[in-house]
Structure 1
Amino acid sequence: MQPSTKQLNLLDPTIPARSIIWFLAWPTIVEQILQVTVTYVDSAMVGSLGAEATAAISINNSMIWLVNGWMNAIAIGFSVLMARNIGAGNTVRAKQVVKQSLLASLWYGAFLTALLSVVGLYLPTWLGAAENVRPLAKDYMKFIAIGYIPNLLMIVIGGILRSSGDSRTPLYLNTFNNLLNILLNLFFIFPVVKVGSLSLKGLGMGVGGASLATTLSCTFTAVLLLLSLFRNDRLIKLEIKDWKFDRQIHAQALKLGIPVALERSTLSFGQIVLTKMVSTLGTAALAAHYLANTAESITYLPPSGISTAATTLVAQSLGKGDTTLAKKFADNCVVAGTILMSTMGFFMFLFAPQLMGIFTSDQTVVHLGAKILRIEAFAEPAFGLSLLVFGVLRGAGDMKGPFTISLAGMWLLRLPLAWVLLRTTHLGLQGIWIAMMSDLILRGIISYFRYRGGSWQKAWK
């Protein structure tokens, strides 16, 4: 029997584990490919404006990663809690979790908008951006900040739908989001848009136009995702009544989400420190660092989709009380995801110059970016393993594992080694990426032993 319906019973014993994993994973993988494609297009459009424009996005990127990490932590906390209740057969409670997640999105989204509107004014100076880059960087962050309520709603609702067994609705609506983003980019970034022989007038906002296009497309998509929760065929169909604050649900979701937020904060603050180091190497190095990170993100897609499936399947299986099924799903996900990540790393090594050439015609940036991508390629198998194990651990409720592993890799290895190599060698940006590679390999090794130990199966209790 093959899964064919959108609201599949993920714990149906008559369906092979690999079929269920693929049913959940492929829409997420395609969705992420679309998102990365838009990031590629976005970076290429901005890159066409020059290295200063690319550096303006790069200087903000670590802070944006930090905030995105917080938003994903909120989504994971509520999604895992909801999946736990679905696995236990308590759909009434699952619906209440969804309602509370939407209320939380409004509060936290408003807080993030206020926070980043202020921080964005000072961040470029704090991180040592060149004088000519700072105004562009402030302009970019200004429009990103005002979109955090719809952005958070998108992330939370997408996570809720995937954890309930519907990974296709987020795919369809995020496809719309990505296409709309590209279209708005054209008219917001450039003063003139050529369509065949026609020349249409654009807003010519440059870097700020790219962030405004992102915010507007997120807003439209968030509204559509919200409306989808009220459909009659939805397992977690919502109703207008009974939206009171539930302290217990928020406490449970926070207990699950706070370690994830700490993990993401650990990584993102580390990235901010790393960006500060990179900025001392000049605008070309900063642009190469940002674009290489963007190019590398394509390798995450298959394992990230499978990791998301692992979180959902392990959470529902353990919610049902079936540790054998949870282990079966986990083993399949870890093996498949690691193999896919390794394959993607191999192709990244081969085609590093071509990947960098997508984003910029600056040959200095392309040459440097290709070198650091090839360094990172050696870490991809270990990185893939850690991504998959983290997905399993989160589904099991072992949120502290990813946090402690990330803390050790970033702050005990990556940053100290990057500082040493920067100060004592002439490797420059390559030295920083050697430190990144070492961190990812360490994470993979620790993750392997954490997973093999099996204690995650009892973390649920």
Structure 2
Amino acid sequence: MMAQLSSIMMQYIDAAMVGRLGADDSAAVGLVSTSLWLFWGICSAVTVGFSVQVAHRIGASDHDGARRILRQSIVACLLFSLAVVAVGAAIAWPLPVWLGGTEAVCGKASLYFLVFVLALPLLTMNYLGGAMLRCVGNMKVPGGLNVMMCVLDIIFNFFLIFPTREIGLGSVSLTVPGAGLGVLGAALGTVSAEIVTAGLMMWFLCTREKTIRLKGHPGSFRLTRQVIGKALRISAPMTLEHAVICGAQIAVTVIVAPLGIMAIAANAFAVTAESICYMPGYGIGDAATTLVGQSYGAQRMDVARRFGYITVGLGMVMMTVMGVIMYVCAPWVMELMTPVGAIQTLGVESLRIEAFAEPMFAAAIVSYGVMVGVGDSIVPACMNFGSIWLVRLPLAALLAPTMGLAGVWTAMCIELCFRGAIFLWRLLSGAWLKKGI
């Protein structure tokens, strides 16, 4: 959860700093944010195919086997991320136009998108390093490094986003240097923090983590059919599922775009603000993948099932509490994000609608992590796909013309409740334990 919190705090920091630049810059970031989630998520999903295998090997006390998988994962993930970079760079300039952006935001949005896409190989190594450390039970190092990344993001953004300026501290006036790069500075600052973190994450994993470190344990980095085949069986459905879900989120952006710059900015800020509510869910979901994966690898199915129930219940309780807090604190959160009153009003309304979906959203998030832990990813991927495309998008398209942005978020709330219900049904049925690799 600490790792998730630090990632979300980075989003808050970027949103709050860019929000001070005005509605156009906020809309530029919001316009391409869902497309960036698509690229980030695809690279993250690829790492899961290897980390689940490592968790199984650790559960079976096969540390040499875990190291073989780690070596291959580094090569495979780098090659894959480079291919994704090529695609992203090719669409960077026309993308904002395709999404319905105006001339005032398209240029900035393209630059913001391009910087993040070019950094994907190193960001993928950050995902891989953190996932591997968590799979061997080391939660402290990924969490600590991600907190450091959050601090670095503040520092880099502080100097890159804003121009040189005078800051008063009591009776003392200080000149603070700044690059004045605006939206581009926000992208460069965040990417710089991620690059430093990725380097340290992989260094610790490969040289210091006793359970799986590569230093002192030479071996081949050559890809093998068995490891890559298993990784594909786990990751391919997740990658496709994430692409489809993010495609739906991009479609939502297209639905929101005709509502105007204020709605685009408010939607982006509300999505960022809401992320702190589901932070516990994803944190517990990561832990569930590790706990269930190791239990499954040790052939202890009863323990795997109990871990599934415990983690899902804990996630639902924690996200319910976060939903209540978000409902109450929504006005202050939006004030933190932007000084523009119209954006604040739309954002608060959206957040308070979404707060009612948090318990069932937790059920979907953590149940998904439980099922991935045993290698069951195809059916959960189809469940996510069907829910968002068959429930959320039609409802959003139906409600947006009459209810505006509130209609889009009402559709999201209804869909998340439906998704949580079907994931709970599958978890309790026990079918996921029979679908493992």
Q: TM-score scaled by structure 2?
A: 0.96
Question: What per-residue deviation string (whole Å, max 9, x for no partner) do you get for residues 118-162 of structure 1?
Answer: 211111100110110111101211211211111000001100110
Match of 1:20 in 2: none
Q: Structure 1: which amino acid aligns with 2:423?
A: S
| Deviation of the 1:414 alpha carbon | 0.6
Following the alignment from structure 2 to structure 1, what is the Cα–Cα distance between the partners of residues 189 and 118?
12
1:204 aligns with 2:180: yes
Q: Structure 1: which amino acid aligns with 2:254?
A: K
Match of 1:450 in 2: 426
1:121 alignment partner, SS class: coil
Identify which of 80, 103, 108 aligns with 1:136: 108
Q: Structure 1: which amino acid aligns with 2:301?
A: T
Match of 1:15 in 2: none
1:148 aligns with 2:126: no
1:84 aligns with 2:53: no
Question: What per-residue deviation string (whole Å, max 9, x for no partner) do you get for residues 91-142 of structure 1?
Answer: 1111111111111222122122221112111111001101101111012112
Contact 1:70 1:264 in 2 (8 A): yes
| Deviation of the 1:402 alpha carbon | 2.1
1:380-395 correspondence to structure 2 within 5 Å: 380-395=358-373
Match of 1:119 in 2: 91
Following the alignment from structure 1 to structure 2, what is the Cα–Cα distance between the partners of residues 109 and 186?
29
Question: What per-residue deviation string (whole Å, max 9, x for no partner) do you get for residues 374-420 of structure 1?
Answer: 11111111111111111111112110232121112111111111111
1:54 aligns with 2:26: yes
Contact 2:2 2:147 in 1 (8 A): no
2:175 alignment partner, SS class: strand
Identify which of 263, 268, 280 aligns with 2:241: 263
| Deviation of the 1:328 alpha carbon | 1.5
Question: What per-residue deviation string (whole Å, max 9, x for no partner) do you get for residues 294-321 of structure 1?
Answer: 0000001112111111111111101110
Question: What per-residue deviation string (whole Å, max 9, x for no partner) do you get for residues 265-290 of structure 1?
Answer: 12100001100010010000000000
1:264 alignment partner, SS class: helix
Match of 1:16 in 2: none
1:226 aligns with 2:202: yes
> Percent identical across equivalent pairs?
36
RMSD over aligned CA atoms reads 1.3
Contact 1:379 1:437 in 2 (8 A): yes
Identify which of 263, 268, 271 aligns with 1:293: 271
Report the CA distance shift for 1:246/1:284 in structure 2 as closer, same or farther (over 3 A).
Answer: same
1:300-319 correspondence to structure 2 within 5 Å: 300-319=278-297
Following the alignment from structure 2 to structure 1, what is the Cα–Cα distance between the partners of residues 149 and 112?
19
Q: Structure 2: which amino acid aligns with 1:290?
A: A
Question: What per-residue deviation string (whole Å, max 9, x for no partner) do you get for residues 12-63 of structure 1?
Answer: xxxxxxxxxxxxxxxxx12221221121111111010001111111111111
Q: Structure 2: which amino acid aligns with 1:134?
A: C
Report the CA distance shift for 1:88/1:458 in structure 2 as closer, same or farther (over 3 A).
Answer: same
1:378 alignment partner, SS class: helix
Match of 1:22 in 2: none
| Deviation of the 1:454 alpha carbon | 0.5
Q: Structure 2: which amino acid aligns with 1:433?
A: W
Q: Structure 2: which amino acid aligns with 1:202?
A: G
1:330 aligns with 2:302: no
Following the alignment from structure 1 to structure 2, what is the Cα–Cα distance between the partners of residues 179 and 347?
24
1:90-109 correspondence to structure 2 within 5 Å: 90-109=62-81
1:199 alignment partner, SS class: strand
2:346 alignment partner, SS class: helix
1:242 alignment partner, SS class: coil
4+ long deviations beyond 3 Å = 193-196
1:132 alignment partner, SS class: helix
Contact 1:146 1:215 in 2 (8 A): no
Contact 2:241 2:384 in 1 (8 A): yes
Q: Structure 2: which amino acid aligns with 1:317?
A: S
Following the alignment from structure 1 to structure 2, what is the Cα–Cα distance between the partners of residues 253 and 228?
23
Match of 2:255 in 1: 277
Match of 1:75 in 2: 47
Following the alignment from structure 2 to structure 1, what is the Cα–Cα distance between the partners of residues 8 and 341?
23
5+ residue gaps in structure 2? none
| Deviation of the 1:81 alpha carbon | 0.8
Following the alignment from structure 2 to structure 1, what is the Cα–Cα distance between the partners of residues 357 and 196?
38
5+ residue gaps in structure 1? 1-28
1:187 aligns with 2:162: no
1:166 aligns with 2:138: yes
How many residues get paired?
A: 431
